[in-house]
């Protein structure tokens, strides 16, 4: 939507907002919008941010990382220790029950770990679980997790995407059943699932003494509403209480209105272009040429994108990770905005008259269209295609794409292995397919020496930048907009935490 149209739409809404009656909150229901359709509620079979939000509400991990202090705290485990470089032992919390009444114990941990660690079971993001080999029960409340190789980021992963499932229930219903009727130990129970449309959560009154905190809001009604203008309209008429990932221009207008709180917070998500350097879409595709990839990097004014579109706490990114992540070396080759140099590099590569390419994206159409315009300006004519996230992921997995605008939030894991190793170790979404990178990242991922880890992540990140395998663009920020009857402080990890929300 053009800015002028947006301004008019917001102005019209603001006129009627003064008389808008907010929904009666006596029933304790918080109404929230998701923009993207969630392919499966089972946390191991989706890789979207919306899935992460539901995962943290419905399920628990053995460990919890405080998003403010970064301190690791016991959640379903009360204590843990390294037996050796490839064995972790956990003492489990007693007296915890799943939402369906099953008692939590070592059997659930063993079943969950052994299921997700088996690649044949098809966990969507293998990198989150492939470092685990198996689990074994010592007694009802003691369990050991065996690693395939030393993996110093294990506790970080166990505090994030690795949730514990009820062994009896999951063995019976599998991922499909868990997606339709999720069962966890988390602060919220799932009362209703209409796939892709609606998710209703209810407070778990019997929630254990978790560092996540006890839920206050009784009911959370989440609806999928892809259009941001529809979300804003519903926010005005009171059928929505909270929206997030709101574009900067809309958020700025809403911040001028007294009835809303607009909070901006940084995230660990970065946006980047992935280029088919490996020739997955054809060995003679232009992006197999280093000079073409470097031309792409010089063609885009990242500073202008951040200042005009993202705003807030976003920043230009030059390396294939988020700056706070362990091992994310920032001292890599950076490509300044230089369209004349981009044209010269294209000419040197044999494309003096440019070329046409398919260009894919799944989110932030305005960002993607701006990037496309920069490419068009230097002679890389883009056939722009906007797909749903799941469709674009499957396309990239099956045969790749010449160039696509992607984002990755690392599941909020503060370790470079959660992003760089995810995409540069010859997996299905690796468009570089560089064995040397794989080997260096294997060392960085498995060394127990922090300095060695940093050294080999640095080697990998510098090679990625030198070869322009990715064109990192910017970090994201998130705008949260909610009524003044809600108290909430967002955290920098882009996780909506319903347990920390209260009514004023």
Three-class secondary structure assignment of 470-499: EEEEEEEEEEEEEECCEECCCCCCCCCCHH
Let me know whether 123 and 74 are in one domain. yes
Per-residue pLDDT for 438 more than 50? yes
Q: Is residue 404 part of a domain?
A: yes
The pLDDT value given to residue 39:
79
The pLDDT value given to residue 25:
64
What band does 457 get if pLDDT is binned at 50, 70 and 90?
A: very high
Whole-angstrom distance, CA of residue 180 vs CA of residue 294: 46
For the domain that residue 126 is a member of, what is the CATH number? 3.40.190.10
Q: Is residue 252 part of a domain?
A: no
What band does 125 get if pLDDT is binned at 50, 70 and 90?
A: very high
3-state class (DSSP) for residue 384 = strand
Let me know whether 412 and 379 are in one domain. yes
Let me know whether 350 and 440 are in one domain. yes
What band does 27 get if pLDDT is binned at 50, 70 and 90?
A: low
The pLDDT value given to residue 7:
43
Of 94, 72, 149, 232, whose CA–CA distance to 445 is shortest? Answer: 149
What are the tens digits of pLDDT across the range 279-331? 999 999 999 999 999 999 999 999 999 999 999 999 999 999 999 999 999 99
Let me know whether 231 and 333 are in one domain. no
Label residue 120 exposed, middle or buried (CB < 10 Å: 0-12, 13-18, 19+). exposed
What are the tens digits of pLDDT across the range 77-108? 999 999 999 999 999 999 999 999 999 999 99
Let me know whether 36 and 184 are in one domain. yes
The pLDDT value given to residue 477:
97
Cα→Cα distances 447→150, 155, 159, 321, Å? 7, 15, 20, 19
Residues 6+ apart with CB under 8 A from 338: 298
Q: Is residue 85 part of a domain?
A: yes
Average pLDDT taken over every residue of the chain: 94
pLDDT over 90 for what percent of the chain? 93
Mean pLDDT along residues 476-504 = 96
Let me know whether 237 and 320 are in one domain. no
Let me know whether 211 and 292 are in one domain. no
Choice among 68-72, 115-119, 219-223 with the minimum mean pLDDT? 68-72
Residues 6+ apart with CB under 8 A from 467: 277, 290, 293, 432, 434
Of 267, 264, 237, 234, whose CA–CA distance to 249 is shortest? Answer: 264
Mean pLDDT along residues 1-17 = 40
Residues 6+ apart with CB under 8 A from 415: 153, 156, 157, 325, 326, 327
Task: Provide the number of structural domains found in the chain.
Answer: 2
Let me know whether 350 and 206 are in one domain. no
Q: Is residue 17 part of a domain?
A: no
Mean pLDDT along residues 337-354 = 98
For the domain that residue 448 is a member of, what is the CATH number? 3.10.105.10
3-state class (DSSP) for residue 21 = coil
Let me know whether 458 and 499 are in one domain. no
What are the tens digits of pLDDT across the range 108-124? 999 999 999 999 999 99
What band does 178 get if pLDDT is binned at 50, 70 and 90?
A: very high
Cα first-last separation, the chain:
34
Let me know whether 65 and 214 are in one domain. yes
The pLDDT value given to residue 449:
95
Where is pLDDT greater, at 9 or 443?
443
CB 396 within 8 A of CB 404: yes
Domain range enclosing 194: 25-241+485-503
């Amino acid at each position: 939507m053009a800015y002028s149209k947006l301004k008019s739409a917001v102005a019209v809404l603001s006129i009627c907002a003064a008389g808008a009656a907010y929904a009666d909150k006596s029933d304790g229901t918080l109404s929230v919008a998701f923009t993207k359709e969630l392919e499966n509620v089972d946390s191991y079979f989706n890789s979207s941010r919306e899935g992460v939000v539901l995962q943290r509400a419905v399920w628990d991990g053995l460990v919890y990382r405080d998003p403010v202090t970064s301190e690791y705290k016991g959640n379903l485990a009360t204590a843990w220790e390294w037996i050796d470089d490839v064995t972790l032992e956990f003492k489990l919390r007693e007296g915890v029950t799943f939402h369906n009444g099953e008692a939590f114990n070592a059997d659930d941990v063993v079943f969950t770990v052994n299921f997700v660690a088996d690649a044949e079971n098809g966990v969507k993001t293998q990198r989150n679980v492939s470092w685990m080999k198996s689990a074994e029960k010592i007694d009802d409340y003691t369990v050991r997790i065996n690693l395939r190789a030393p993996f110093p980021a294990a506790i970080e992963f166990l505090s994030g995407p690795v949730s514990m499932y009820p062994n009896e229930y999951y063995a019976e219903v599998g991922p499909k059943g868990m997606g339709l009727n999720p069962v966890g130990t988390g602060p919220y129970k799932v009362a209703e699932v209409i796939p892709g449309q609606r998710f209703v959560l209810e407070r778990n009154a019997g929630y254990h003494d978790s560092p996540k905190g006890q839920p206050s809001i009784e009911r959370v009604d989440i609806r999928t509403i892809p259009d941001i203008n529809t979300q804003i309209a519903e926010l005005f008429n009171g059928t929505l209480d909270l929206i997030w990932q709101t574009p900067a221009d809309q958020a700025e207008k809403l911040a001028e209105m007294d009835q809303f709180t607009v909070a901006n917070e940084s995230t660990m998500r970065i946006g980047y272009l992935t280029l088919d350097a490996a020739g997955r879409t054809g060995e003679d595709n232009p992006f197999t040429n280093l000079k073409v990839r470097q031309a792409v990097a010089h063609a885009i004014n990242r500073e202008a994108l951040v200042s005009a579109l993202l705003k807030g706490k976003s920043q230009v990114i030059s390396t294939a990770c988020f700056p706070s992540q362990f091992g994310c070396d920032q001292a890599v080759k950076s490509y300044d905005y230089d369209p004349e140099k981009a044209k010269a590099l294209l000419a040197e590569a044999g494309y003096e008259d440019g070329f046409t390419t398919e260009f894919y994206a799944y989110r932030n159409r305005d960002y993607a269209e701006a990037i496309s315009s920069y490419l068009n300006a230097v002679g890389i004519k883009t056939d722009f295609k906007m797909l749903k996230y799941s469709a674009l992921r499957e396309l990239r997995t099956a045969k790749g794409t010449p160039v696509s605008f992607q984002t990755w939030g690392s599941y909020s894991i503060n370790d470079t292995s959660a992003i760089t190793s995810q995409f540069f170790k010859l997996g299905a979404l690796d468009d570089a397919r560089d064995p040397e990178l794989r080997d260096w990242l294997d060392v960085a991922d498995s060394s127990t020496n922090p300095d060695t880890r940093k050294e080999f992540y640095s080697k990998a990140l510098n090679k990625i930048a030198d070869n322009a395998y990715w064109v990192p663009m910017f970090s994201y920020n998130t705008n949260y907009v909610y009524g003044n009857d809600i108290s909430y402080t967002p955290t920098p990890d882009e996780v909506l935490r319903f347990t920390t929300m209260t009514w004023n």
